[in-house]
Amino acid sequence: MRLNDSIDSQQLARKWKAVDEKIQAVAFWCDETEKNDSSFYVAVKDNISVSGLPMQAGSHILKGYRPVYDASVIGRLRKQGGHVFCKSKMDELGMGDTGLNTGTTPIFNPYDLSRIVGGSSGGSAALVASGCCPLALGTDTGDSIRQPASYTGTVGVKPTYGRISRYGILPYANSMDTVGYFTTCIEDAAYALEIFEGKDSNDMTTLIKPGGSYHRSLDPSLAGKKIGIFHSVMKTINDPVLQKIFDDLIHYLERKGAQLVDVDIDSKWLNLVDPVYKTIANAEACSNHACLDGLRYGSQPIADTVEQAVKQARTTGFSSLVKKRFIYGAYSLYEENQKDLFLKAQKIRRQIVQEYLMMLEDLDVLLALSTPDIAPQIVDLDGSRMQIESLSNSHLKLDNLAGTPSLSLPLGWKQGCPFGLCIRSNRFQEQKMFDIAKAIENYTGLAGLTVEV
C-alpha cells in the first residue's frame, strides 16, 4: 500500500482485524465512524498522544490513561489528510528490542509468526509490513525503528535529532528520543519527512533548518557519490548468505560509478557505545518516569498513605525488565556515583560522537547491515535480557548518541524472511540518505514490499 493509493475503508477495516488476530500488533482501535475514503490511514505507536484515545505505552501503570491533547506530529498528520486508525503495540515504555514485553500478548513477525518482530516500535512495523497502512509512526531511542524495520522488510526512518517535534511523546531518554516512521518505499519515506518536520514552539529541541521537497528531489544517480563501508560492523557478520548479498550490492554500486571506501572508528570507542548508551538512557528514563507513581496517571491504587500507594503502583505497574532499568538508572544518578558513572558516560559520549562525525564528514552516506541476521526465533530468546550486546546490533545506537539520521530498507532474504541495510548520513543530510536509498531500492526491486498474513 502507498500513501496515494485509493482505499476502500470497509475492506481495509476487515483486513486490519483479520491481520491483528494473528500478529497481535494493535493496542487500541479507533472509532470506525471517523474513517473516510479520502484519508490515508496511519498507525501510531502507543507512546504518542492522540486526544481522547488510550495511551498505555505497554505498561500497566498507565492503564486507563487518555491524553487530552494531540502530539504535534498528529496535528501535522491531520493537516495532510492523514487519519489515525489505531494505536500500535510496543515494548513497555520503549524499553525493549523484541516486541515481547508489551504488557499483554507479544507481537509476532508477519513473515514468520514464530519469530520476534523487534522493538520497541514493533507494532507499527508489523502493520506496515502486513499491508494494513502505508505509514506508521514510531520512536527511536536506540534502534527502535531501524531494527524492527530490518526484521519486517519495511523502510524505517530515524531523522536528525530536532527535525521532528517530540511534544506529546512519552519520553524515554530526552537526549536521544527521535520520532520516526515506517513506510514500504523510499518515495513515501521522503514525503513523510515533509509532513512531520518543522520548528515547534512546544519543543525547544526542534531546529530551524531548511527542509525541502525530499520526494520530488530524489536523485538515484550514483556516479561520483562517496559511500563508506562500516568495516568494524561488517566484519562481525558471519552469515554467508547475508554477506554475499551485501557484497553483491557493493559490486553494483562500484559498477555504477560510486566511490567505495572502508571507514572505521577506533575500537576503543566502538566498544563503549553500548555501555555509554545504557548508562545515559537508563538514567534519563529513571528521571523522566518518576511521575509514573499511580497518583497522577493511570489507575490509582487503594492505600492508606501516599507512600503505600506509590509503592503498590510501581510494584505492580512495571515489568521486571523496566524495574531493572530504573534501578540501574537510579544507581548512576546517586550523588556518590554520578562522577564515575553518569558524568563519565556523558564525557565518553562526546568523544564517541566526535569520532563518528569525523568519519561521516567526507561521505555522502555510510553503509552496513542493519542487523546481523533475520529476526530471531521467539523460543531462542530469554525474555529477561536487556538487549543483544554485540557491535553488529549496537552500532545503530551511534545515530542516537550523535543525533544523526539513518534508515533501514529491505536488502534481501534468508529462509523466507527479510533483512535490512542501514544507510546513514551526517546531520541534516536526509536528502543524500534518501537519494542513495532510492538507488539501492531500484537495485533490489523491493519497493512496496508487504506480506499476506
SS3 341: coil
Query: What amino acid is encoded at 105 in this protein?
Result: T
Between CA 112 and CA 109 the distance in angstroms is 5
Catalytic residue check, 45:
yes
Between CA 54 and CA 66 the distance in angstroms is 4
Q: Which residues have C-beta within 8 Å of that of residue 289, sequence separation ≥ 6?
A: 93, 326
Please tell me which residue in 59, 88, 144, 332 is annotated as part of the active site.
144
Virtual torsion, Cα 344, 347, 348, 353, nearest 10 deg:
160
Catalytic residue check, 267:
no
DSSP 198-232: S-BTTBTT--------TTTT-----TT-EEEEEHH
Please tell me which residue in 72, 88, 120, 370 is annotated as part of the active site.
120
Catalytic residue check, 89:
no
Query: What amino acid is encoded at 444 in this protein?
Result: T
Beta bridge partners of 116: 108
Hunting for cell 540518505 — which residue is that?
A: 433
Inter-CA distances, 386 with 55, 61, 97, 275, 389, Å: 24, 20, 8, 12, 9
SS3 380: helix
Inter-CA distances, 271 with 176, 389, 398, Å: 19, 10, 11
Beta bridge partners of 263: 230
Beta strands across the sheet bearing 226-230: 26-29, 82-88, 40-45, 135-140, 178-183, 155-158, 406-414, 417-424, 365-369, 226-230, 259-263
Between CA 308 and CA 179 the distance in angstroms is 36
For residues 37 and 7, is the Cβ–Cβ distance under 8 A? Answer: yes
SS3 378: helix
DSSP 17-78: HHHHHHH--EEEEPPGGG--TTSEEEEEETTB--TTS---TT-GGGTT---SS--HHHHHHH
Annotated active-site positions, please? 45, 120, 144
